[in-house]
Amino acid sequence: MKAAKEILEVWRAFDHFPMETLTKAWYLQSGDEPKQRSVDLMKMHREQYGTSGNCFDLALWLLEELRQNKMDCYGIVTPDDHVAVIVLGDQGQRYLCDLGDQWIQPVLIERGSKEYTEDWLRGFFPGSEIKVQVQQEHLDLTYKRPNGKESKQTYLLTPVSDAELTARGEQTQKTLRRPLVEQRLFSKDEVTHWEFDDYSSFHSTMNGKVDENALDSIEEWAHRIHSVTGMSRDVIIQALEVYGI
């Protein structure tokens, strides 16, 4: 169910990129348009401030990198407007690539492939086992946490054009709900998942969820987020001030 080396080499370049909704709050304050940044601008911001972006930013960036490496790929969405990428292997087999949900690695979603299985799999998603079930027009994914709790995600498999992805991204960049940061953390034992969600933070591991102590100020949260992601403290503070506490 794992992707080929050439796909993984592109994917691994994003290993330390968080998925975060702080950059859009920070960038929303600027007078610049459009709010869906170009990949070149995302690269500049990452170099200057250590930022990455939300699921649309990451998908558009990944698409460009895959194409620069001569791979066929396209975007897909979920019913709730999450976005991911499909990349095709050398035999045309499809792999799901979801940086927005901070997957560890892509997964095969080609029912006709001899490697395809609907058994529970480890090593694809932090702190969870996953089960892939490919239907004709959509993909059903089930996640199972260490405590046995299961959750589901559906992806629509119809390709979405870059123009539509950019238009949808423009809407998400102008919509603020809550501050969210997700980061994969790599160790010799496993890849864990750290999350900051509306002023609480925790780790998800194969041994369960580990909550961190609450903090009292934006400055303290900025220090914690910076220590995990490497993002600029100033950018984090400005973004959290936009969201409020």
**245 falls in which pLDDT band (50, 70, 90)?**
low
* Angle (CA) 46 48 49, round 5°: 65
Average pLDDT over residues 76-83: 96
Average pLDDT over residues 30-43: 95
**31 falls in which pLDDT band (50, 70, 90)?**
confident
How many domains does the chain contain in total? 1
> 245: Cβ–Cβ under 8 A, 6 or more apart, which residues?
199, 217, 218, 221
- Which CATH number fits the domain that encloses residue 132? 3.30.2140.20
Task: Say if residue 124's pLDDT is above 70.
Answer: yes
For residues 110 and 133, what is the distance between their CA atoms, to the nearest angstrom? 10
Percent pLDDT > 70 in the chain is 100
For tokens 């459009």, what's the residue? 34
Task: Say if residue 172's pLDDT is above 70.
Answer: yes
User: Across all residues in the chain, what is the average pLDDT?
Assistant: 97
Average pLDDT over residues 62-84: 98
pLDDT at 244: 85
Q: Roughly how many angstroms between the first and final C-alpha of the chain, as a whole number? A: 42
Average pLDDT over residues 155-163: 98
Count each helix (H run) and each strand (E run) in the chain, helices first: 7, 13
In 3D space, the residue among 128, 162, 165 whose CA is nearest the CA of residue 147 turns out to be: 128
Task: Say if residue 175's pLDDT is above 90.
Answer: yes
Task: Say if residue 62's pLDDT is above 70.
Answer: yes
pLDDT at 33: 92
For residues 11 and 105, what is the distance between their CA atoms, to the nearest angstrom? 7
pLDDT at 45: 98
Residue 151 is classified by DSSP as E
For tokens 């170009």, what's the residue? 38
Residue 216 is classified by DSSP as S
What range defines the domain where residue 72 resides? Answer: 5-243
Burial class (CB in 10 A: 0-12, 13-18, 19+), 176: middle
Average pLDDT over residues 199-211: 96
In the chain, what's the furthest Cα-to-Cα distance? 53
Q: Could you tell me if 240 and 179 are in contact, meaning their C-beta atoms sit under 8 angstroms apart?
A: yes
**Buried/exposed code over 50-84 (b: 16+ C-beta within 10 A; e: otherwise):** bbbbbbbbbbbbbbbbbeeeebebbbbbbeeebbb
